[in-house]
Chain A
Amino acid sequence: MAAIDKVKVLVVGDSGVGKTSLVHLVCHSEPCPVPGATIGCSVEVKLHEYKAGLPGEKEYFVELWDIGGSSSHKNSRSIFYNMVNGIILVHDLTNRKSHQNLLKWLGEVLDKGVEKPTNGYDYDPEQFAGSQIPMLVIGTKADQAQSLNENVLCKRSSVAEECGADEFNIDSTQVKYIAPGSTNAVKLARFFDKVIERRYSGSQISKSKGYFQSRI
C-alpha cells in the first residue's frame, strides 16, 4: 500500500450544493443516504487507474477533500489548501447564485485564504495564468433543475469557459450519471488523469506525446 502514489483534489462550492453526495457517489458508486452539513473537511479516497487500458497503466490514490461551505468557517479553511493538485468546483443547477460564487471560491483557494484588502476574494484572471492546477466544474441537482427550467442544462458554464475547465451536470441520487462508460465518467477519468500527469510529469510516467497534448 505504501507504494501507491497519491494526488490531492479539493471539492469546493457553496453550502448545500451537494459536494458530500457527489464525493460519496464518485468514491463508493452509490448514492449517499442522508448527508448532513459538512463541518471542516471530510476526505474520501478513490483508487484510480491512470491510463486505464493503455500501456503504462498505474494505479493512484485520488484524495477528494470535501470542504464544508459554511461562511462562518471561512477563517479556518485555509489550512486545507496546501499542496493541492486539482480543484473540483461544484454548483447547484437550481440556484444561479451558487454558480456566481464559484469565482469567489476559486479566489479563496488560490490565495490560500489570504484576503486581499482591495477586492476580498474576487477572482483575478491574471492569477490563473500563472497557476497550473487542473479544474473541473460539476453542476448538481440536475433532475430538480430540469423540472424548474428546461434549458438550464444546455447552458455552458461561464466559469468553466473562463478557466478552460471541463464540466458536466449530474443528479447525485442516481448512479447512472457516472456509470462506467458514460460520458461523465470519461470526463471524470480524464480529469483525474490530467491531475496525476500534472503532479508526476516527467519522472515516472512514460511519455506519450499524443495523449498529453489532447485538450479536454
Chain B
Amino acid sequence: MSFLVDLVIMCISQVIFFGGGWLFFLKHLFRDYEVHHSVVLLVFSVTFALSCTMFELIIFEILGFLDASSRLFHWKVGLFSILFTLIAVLPFYIAYYILGNIKIVPQKPHVRTLCTFGAWLAFLYLFWKLGDPFPILSPKHGIFSIEQCIGRVGVVGVTIMALLSGFGAVNCPYTYMHYFVRHVTDADIQSIEKRLLQSLDMIIMKKKRIAIAKRENLRKASMSTGSGGLWGMLKNVTSGSGQENIGPLQQDANALEELSRQLFLETVDLNDAVERINYSKTFKGRYFNFLGYFFSIYCVWKIFMATINIIFDRVGKVDPVTRGIEIAVNYFSIQFDVKFWSQQISFLLVGIIIITSIRGLLITLTKFFYAIASSKSSNVIVLCLAQVMGMYFVSMILLMRMNMPLEYRSIITQVLGDLQFNFYHRWFDVIFLVSALSSICFLYIAHKQSPEKNLY
C-alpha cells in the first residue's frame, strides 16, 4: 500500500520537474527560435526531470521520507532511465539532426535513419573505448553492467564539472571585483565611434565609385555592341579604364570593412567596460564586489587543497558535516544532539549544493546557447546541452557522496555499484587544477591586452 502512495508522490514530482524543464526550454533557451520538432523539447524536459528526480531521492534519503525499499526501487528505475537517455536516445537524435544539416547525405527518411543508426554505433564504440585508460572498474564486473556505463558517464561528467568549476572559481572574483575594472572615459568611446563612422563613410564613397564605374561599363557595353566587330573592340580597349578601377577599389573597400569590424568590436568592449563601471556604483555592484573578495580567498584555498590532494595522494575520508560537528564538540565543547543536527545540516548543505549547481549550470548553458546558436544549428546544440546537463548531474551524484555522512552514503554506494570513487575525486582535483590555472593565464593575457588598445 505504501509503495503505491510513494509511487504516486514520485510521479507527481516528476511531472512537476518535467513542466519546469519545458518552461525553461520555451521561455529562456528557445527565446528567439521557433520549435519545429517537438521531440527536441520532449527529450530535453525528460532529461531534466530524471536528473531532478535523482536529487529529490537524495534529499528524501537524508530526511527519511518514504519507504526505504520504494526509495531503492525508484533509484534503480531512475538511474536506468537516465543512462538509457544519455547513451541511447540523446546521441541518436544528435546524430539524426547533424545528418539532416549535412548536404551530402540524401534526405529520404529511411536512408537518413540508417545513417543515423550507423553513426550511433560508432558513438557507442568510442564511448566504450573511453573507459579503457581509466582505472574505473574492479574486475568483478561483467561486460554489460550498469557499472560500466556509469563509470564512463562519470568520467565525462566529472571532467565537465571540474572544467566549469575551475573556470568559474577564477572568473567569479574577476567579474565581481572592482579592482579589475578597466578605466574608460566617455572621450575614449567618442573618439573610437568617430573613427568608426569615418571608416564607414570612406567605404560608402568607394562603393559609390564602384557602382558608377559598373554602370558606365554597362552603358559602354550596350553602346559598343551596336557598332560591330573591330571598331567595338578598339573602343573597348581605349575606354577600358573604367574596368580597371573596380579591382583596386573593391580591395580598398574590403580592407576598410575589416577595419570597421575591428573598430566596432573595440567599441563594444569599451561600452561593456563603461557598463561595468556604472554597475559597480550601484548597491548590487558593491555587494558583489564584497563577495568577490571572499570568493577569491575561497578560490585560492581550493587550488591549494587540490594541489595538496594530488601531491600527497590523499582522499578525505570524513565529510564536512561530521568534521564540523567533531570540531564543534571537541574544541568548542558545544553539546547537542549529534544525530539530529547531523541530519539537519546535511539536508541544508546538500540542498544548497543541489540548488546552486542546477541554477549555475542552467545559466551557463543558456549563455553558451545564446553565444553560439543559429537558426540552423539550434536543435543540435540544444540536444548537446541536454547531454552535458545529464552527464553533469549524474556525476554530481557520484561526487556528492563525499559531502554526506556515512549513513546516507550507503544508498549511493548500493545503487551505483562498487565504483572506484576515489579515482573520481582525484580526477576532479587534477582537472580542476588544470582548468583553474589555465583560466588564470587566459584572463591575465586578456586583461593585459586591453589597456594597450586605448593607447590610440
Contact = CB atoms under 8 A, between A and B. Distances in A.
A201 interface: no
B200 A76 contact: no
A185 B308 CA distance: 72
Contacts of B196: 40, 79
A43 B36 CA distance: 33
Given A40-B260, A40-B264, A97-B32, A45 B207 contact: yes
Chief secondary structure at chain A's binding surface: mixed
B211 A46 contact: yes
Interface stretch (B132-140, B265-273, B314-322, B387-395): B265-273
Interface stretch (A67-75, A166-174, A190-198): A67-75
Interface residues of A, number: 32
Interface in A35-64: 37, 39-47, 61, 63
For chain B, the bracket of interface size reads: 20 to 34
B268 A73 contact: yes
Chief secondary structure at chain B's binding surface: helix
A39 B264 contact: yes
A71 B212 contact: no
Contacts of A148: 36
A15 B378 CA distance: 13
Contacts of B370: 71-72
A44 B215 CA distance: 15
A23 to B, nearest CB: 12
Contact of A97 (B31, B207, B271): B31
A98 B374 CA distance: 12
Contact of B207 (A37, A44, A71): A44
Interface stretch (A88-96, A122-130, A204-212): A88-96
Contacts of B265: 39-40
B204 interface: yes
Interface in B238-294: 257, 260-261, 263-265, 267-268, 271-272, 275
Contacts, number: 74
A40 B375 contact: no
B261 A1 contact: no
B34 interface: yes
Interface string B197-212: 1001001100111011
B200 A43 contact: yes
Nearest to B201: A43
Given A41-B200, A45-B204, A75 B374 contact: no
A109 to B, nearest CB: 17
Contact of A76 (B36, B209, B271): B271
A89 to B, nearest CB: 16
B33 interface: yes
A184 interface: no
Contacts of B203: 43
B212 A47 contact: yes
Contact of B32 (A14, A37, A63): A14
B375 A16 contact: yes
B208 A97 contact: no
- Of B32, B193, B203, B376, the most chain A CB neighbours within 10 A belong to B32
B374 A1 contact: no
A101 interface: yes
Nearest to A1: B212
Nearest to B271: A75
Given A79-B193, A79-B197, A148-B36, A94 B375 contact: yes
Given A1-B209, A47-B212, A96 B34 contact: yes
Contact of B211 (A39, A47, A76): A47
Contacts of A47: 211-212, 215
Nearest to A40: B264
A31 B259 CA distance: 25
Contacts of A14: 32
Nearest to B207: A45
Contact of A95 (B33, B208, B371): B33
Interface in B12-65: 31-34, 36
Contacts of B271: 75-76
A152 B433 CA distance: 53
Nearest to B209: A1
A76 B264 contact: yes
Contacts of B376: 16
Contacts of A37: 374
Contacts of B268: 72-73, 75-76
A95 B264 contact: no
Given A47-B212, A95-B375, A39 B207 contact: no
17 contacts: A4-B208, A16-B374, A37-B374, A40-B265, A41-B200, A43-B204, A45-B204, A45-B207, A71-B370, A72-B370, A73-B264, A76-B264, A76-B268, A95-B34, A95-B375, A96-B34, A98-B32
3 tightest Cβ-Cβ pairs between the two chains A and B: A40-B264, A75-B271, A76-B267
Given A45-B204, A75-B272, 10 more contacts: A4-B208, A43-B204, A46-B211, A76-B264, A76-B267, A76-B271, A79-B197, A94-B34, A97-B31, A101-B32
